[in-house]
Every structure is written in structure tokens, then in C-alpha cells.
Structure 1
């Protein structure tokens, strides 16, 4: 039942999750792909769609209402100033890579929109950056999840030995403390 819900609503939930937040939603979806509940290819595509749509929305809101948005969110103002400074030096590089830096995912597109950066250029570089982020993070998380699954499977086979080893260490510790108390 839960598996059916995940298969039915997992992809739309991922699009919404990456639209709103990003990394956590993608990592959960990659875990579900490792468990064969979702397809890693569709996970990467949905992550791209969600993050790209979010970036485009914030960019266009920045073009129209950027100053008001920054004023309405006082915590964004220092980030917006920092983003503006970074953007002035290497604009195309920041459009490609801002989503890889925590804390700049929303304020950077707003700032880029405010800066007068060409919407066509933003569309192109944002598309490339979102594809790199979604594809790269999906692949890394999926590969890491598969590696961890193998490791956990090995641990599962050795759990009896591990439990016996822990029990032996506890027993030795208890005997040592008991012996120390008698010596005092």
C-alpha cells in the first residue's frame, strides 16, 4: 500500500519538494530509487523540473519585485548584498553554480533578476546549472546509497558475530569493574 502511494505520488512530490527546498527531497527520492520504488532517471528529471521552475519563478519575481522582496525578508538582505557582489565579478559562473551553495538558492535568483541580467541568458545558464545539480546529486546519492546497501547487507550477515562481540565486551567490562570494587 505505501509502496503503491510512493510509486503513484513520488515523482510529483519530488517536483514539489525540489521546487520548495531541494536537497532533502532529492536525497529521499534517491533512497527510494535505491530501494527500487522509483526510477533514478525519473528522479533526476523531476528534480531538474522542480529546481528549474523554482529558479525561474524567483528570477522573474526578482525582476519585477526584487527590492520589495528583499525588504520584506530582512534575513535576505545581507545574503542579497553578498550575492550581488559575487554576481558582479562572475555573473555566468554564479548563475551556473549558486544552487550548489547552501543558503543562496532563493535569494540568488531574486538578486540576478534585480541585476538586469538577460532573461534569455539566465534561461540557458540556469537550465545547464539545474541539470548539473539534479543529475550530479542524483547520481552521487544513488551510487552512495547502493554502496551503503551493500555494506549494510554485509553487516546483516555479520550481526550475530557483532552482537556476540558486544556482549563479550560488556561482560568483560562488568567483570573488570567487579574485580576493581573487590580490590578497593
Structure 2
């Protein structure tokens, strides 16, 4: 298993962090905590994957707005709301959208369709990816032993369900606070 992780772990963390997000950055932290990867390498993989995929979505939506992939995202309900938020406070939006679970592809496309220039998006994207990748990878590093113990005692399904319910409660509390 360690050989497989040593060969493909960084690629999986980078691609997964860019496409799926948090679970892969957290997993990178767990792997670092188990000494299967150096912590800084796991963090860099999460940062790099997140940065590159969001940069790709930005450029794709900026240059190929009529493509099927971009049009599919543009027609999602969250797209219009994201575009409105970008126009109000573009820098803040770019720094925060990674932390909005489930909206990454929509929001990166919305930024590409907005009036934000590439020269402004690029450094904000790098800063946001650095913050996000560092936070979630180190969270995985810190929580790794607790997650392993939970899985050993109650299994993967119940651990995942507990994490999902906890995340939902936190999301609802935050949403209620901002309403």
C-alpha cells in the first residue's frame, strides 16, 4: 500500500483536491500524519491541484463560454447567485468560494464569466488555494488519529455519516447566522 501511495498519492491528492476538494486534501493530511508523505508535499499537492483546476475553469469560461461544459454550469441555479456576489465584492468572493462546499465548479466558471481580469484573479486564486490547501491538509493531519480510531470502532459508514451530519449542522448554523 505504501508503494502505491508513494507512486500515485500526490497525483491523487492534486487531482482530487482540484476536482472533488476537501476529502482529498484531508486524506493528504492523514497520509502525512502516518509518515507516508512529507506534510509540505501533501500541502503543495492540494494547493497545486486546487489552483490549477480553478484556473482552468476560469480560462475555459473566459475563452470558450459557448462550449457545452461551460453552458451546463451557467444554467445551474447557483451560477446567477454567484455572479451577483462576484460583482459586489470580487476579491472576497474569490478568497472564500473554495470554502463553499459543492459550489466550486459553478463559482470558478462564474468568476471567468465576470468582468474580473485575469491579472487580478491569478494572484487571488493562488492565495485562496494556498489558504484552503494548507487548512484542509493540516486539518487532516491533526484529525488523522481520531478518524482512524472512529473507523476502527464504528466502521467507515458510520464515521462518514457522523462527519456528514456534523458538517450539515455547522452549515445550517452558519447559514442561519447570515440570514
TM-score per shorter chain, which class? Answer: 0.7 to 0.9
Match of 2:16 in 1: 17
Q: Is the contact between residue 26 and residue 138 of structure 2 (CA under 8 Å) also seen in structure 1? A: no
DSSP-derived class of the 2:76 partner: helix
DSSP-derived class of the 1:107 partner: helix
User: How far does residue 102 in structure 1 lie from its aligned partner after superposition?
Assistant: 1.1
Deviations 1:52-79 (A, max 9, x none): 00010000111122354453347x5211
Q: CA RMSD in A?
A: 2.2
User: How far does residue 48 in structure 1 lie from its aligned partner after superposition?
Assistant: 0.4
DSSP-derived class of the 1:6 partner: helix
TM-score, reference length from structure 2: 0.76
Deviations 1:83-140 (A, max 9, x none): 0111121110001110100122111111111112110110010100000000111112
Distance in 1 (alpha carbons) for counterparts of 2:35 and 2:93 = 35
Q: Does 1:54 align with 2:53?
A: yes
Q: Is the contact between residue 15 and residue 50 of structure 1 (CA under 8 Å) also seen in structure 2? A: yes
Match of 1:137 in 2: 136
Structure exhibiting the larger radius of gyration computed from Cα positions: 1
Q: Does 1:72 align with 2:72?
A: yes
Which consecutive residues of structure 1, in runs of 5 or more, have no partner in the other structure? 157-184
Q: Which runs of structure 2 are paired with 1:9-48 in the superposition (5 Å)?
A: 9-48=8-47
Q: How many residues align?
A: 150
Distance in 1 (alpha carbons) for counterparts of 2:73 and 2:105 = 11
Match of 1:107 in 2: 106
Match of 1:92 in 2: 91
DSSP-derived class of the 1:106 partner: helix
Distance in 2 (alpha carbons) for counterparts of 1:16 and 1:113 = 20
Which consecutive residues of structure 2, in runs of 5 or more, have no partner in the other structure? 154-179
C-alpha change, 1:99 and 1:141, in structure 2 (3 Å) is same
Q: Is the contact between residue 29 and residue 139 of structure 2 (CA under 8 Å) also seen in structure 1? A: no
Work out which structure has the larger RCO, using CA pairs closer than 8 Å and 6 or more positions apart in sequence. 2
Q: Is the contact between residue 67 and residue 114 of structure 1 (CA under 8 Å) also seen in structure 2? A: no
